[in-house]
Amino acid sequence: MSNATRHTKLTPATLALLMLPPLFWAGNAVVGRALVGQVAPLALSFWRWAVAFLMILPFTAHGIYAARAVILEKWRDLLLLGVAGIGVYNSFQYLALQTSPALNVTLIASSGPVFTLITGALFFHTPVSRQQACGAVLSILGVLCVVAHGSVEQLLSLRLTAGDGYILFAVAVWSIYTWLLRTRRPNIPAAPFLAVQIGIGAIAILPFYVAESILTDTTMTLNAPVIAALAFISLFPSLVAYFCWDRAVARTGAALPPYFVNLTPVFAALMAVVFLGEHIAVFHLIGALLIFAGIMIANWPTGRTS
């Protein structure tokens, strides 16, 4: 059996590495939803990544300096990656949470692999098999079920909430980021590469955060719960989750970890029910089933290995 398809023994440590990222990313959505009305979305996005950058910089400054020649040579690619993957995606996720429940946002975001498949076919000349197309259709039907709240009438009249539109745009941008990461990633070690992206993303968000502060006359209340929430999302979903993800891929290969990302809306649903008082409806369950089934079908191996 080839290395790409080998069966990896899932030890408790490996399972923890696979399960912690979706747990923390679900926590990010729930915290973002809980802070609605206390911290404006672009303020939350900026301070999340500014604090994360200050946390990671002492450990990566030497690596960034060592890679300075590559950084200067590939600054355009790094700019695209930082703006798309850090700046745009996360900012629009927090904008989505202003009007959409955390469960809706994480369910729609979980369709990212299928959006990536479609983006590859449209813009990166990657063929799509019949099996992948069927999986994509199922997942898109799941997304439509969630955004339409299971109502055919609402679907036909296309009454999307602003939050649903924001997270759909964010997922589309994330799919472009994923392809840029595959095709235009500079040869920089993982930790300095992440730090540079975070720094670029925070700088990209800054003018929009300032504009938000001026135009909406919003202030950020720095009480103990808000400070604790900022510390959590800056450390765990931003840094610890990425570290665990990197280690999990190193242990298991690239094929297995994406399936664990589908746990994000499951964790988010449990947290949202407990902490936010949100309710799980039948359309959530149907939408989740269609999204996950589509991803499984699109990624199901078709060949045999000896």
Rounded to an integer, what distance in angstroms lies between the CA atom of residue 106 and that of residue 111? 9
Neighbours of 257 (CB within 10 A): 19
pLDDT less than 50: residues of the chain = 1-7, 304-306
Rounded to an integer, what distance in angstroms lies between the CA atom of residue 246 and that of residue 288? 26
**What's the number of domains the chain is made of?**
1
Which structure tokens are listed for 283? 């359309």
The single-letter code of the amino acid at 178 is T
pLDDT value for 4: 40
pLDDT value for 303: 56
pLDDT value for 155: 65
User: Does any domain span residue 4?
Assistant: no
Rounded to an integer, what distance in angstroms lies between the CA atom of residue 157 and that of residue 192? 47
User: Does any domain span residue 153?
Assistant: yes
Q: Which domain holds residue 91?
A: 9-299
pLDDT value for 156: 65
User: Does any domain span residue 1?
Assistant: no
pLDDT value for 32: 93
Rounded to an integer, what distance in angstroms lies between the CA atom of residue 221 and that of residue 206? 18
User: Does any domain span residue 3?
Assistant: no
User: pTM of the prediction?
Assistant: 0.83
User: Does any domain span residue 29?
Assistant: yes
State CA 110 to chain mean position distance.
Answer: 8
Contacts of 193 (CB under 8 A, 6+ apart): 185, 186
User: Does any domain span residue 39?
Assistant: yes
User: Does any domain span residue 304?
Assistant: no
User: Does any domain span residue 228?
Assistant: yes
pLDDT value for 111: 76
Rounded to an integer, what distance in angstroms lies between the CA atom of residue 159 and that of residue 147? 9
pLDDT value for 106: 84
Which structure tokens are listed for 153? 């009438």
pLDDT value for 139: 79
